Amino acid sequence: MKFVSKNELFDNFDFYKQEFFNKKLFIYPTDTIYGIGGIVDPDVILNVRLLKKRFGKPFSIIAPSKEWIFENFFVKEEFKSYLDKKKHTFVLKPKKDFPLILSSNGNVGVRILDHWFQSFVEKLNVPIITTSVNISGFEYLERKEDLESESFKSFKEKVDYFIEDGVLNNPPSSVVDLTGDKAIYLRL
């Protein structure tokens, strides 16, 4: 695993962009907790599932922009303002199929971060997979030093890059389903 600073990430954007497209796994900061993921690809999704020991539950994506969301997902007019909410994941119905390995029912959790890492995703101009860095049901990774614990040993061995941003120990994002007639919070 290589540790990468914000400056190194942006100074070498073309290299790290190619690494995403080469299906490398990244741990990266968000506006809540550290996330793990990579390009939206069945192989990458499977590798993250194996690391987390999480099967059957959906993963979310970080969208490059609100415009990208409107192009790729159905968002009812009355729900468009929800996309301005911070630290939220929005469950949306895609206009075209996403890999079923990402979602069991066809709907997809979509995020826009209130964090500097969002500008990297914007520059990539493609969505990336996002989920918490933990074995399903156990504590979240809060700092790079946590990688030394037994709980995160497999992440340290199998993830290619860790984009550093200090300690992140906020609650995970709220999840709101915007696919029906009413917005329904699935996690606050």
Please give the Cα distance from 108 to 106 (Å, whole number): 7
Domains of the chain by range and CATH?
2-187 (3.90.870.10)
Q: What pLDDT is recorded for position 100? A: 57
Asked whether the beta carbons of 92 and 112 are under 8 A apart, the reply is: no
Tell me the two tokens of residue 76: 């009812």
Q: What pLDDT is recorded for position 187? A: 85
More confident residue, 138 or 26: 26
Residue type, 77: E
Span 139-149, pLDDT tens digits: 889 999 999 98
Span 56-80, pLDDT tens digits: 778 899 999 999 999 999 999 999 9
Smallest Cα–Cα separation from 62: which of 151, 144, 123, 148? 123
pTM of the model: 0.92
Burial of 24 (0-12, 13-18, 19+ CB in 10 A): middle
Strands (E), 65-134: 73-74, 88-94, 108-111, 128-132
Span 96-125, pLDDT tens digits: 876 655 566 788 999 999 999 999 999 999
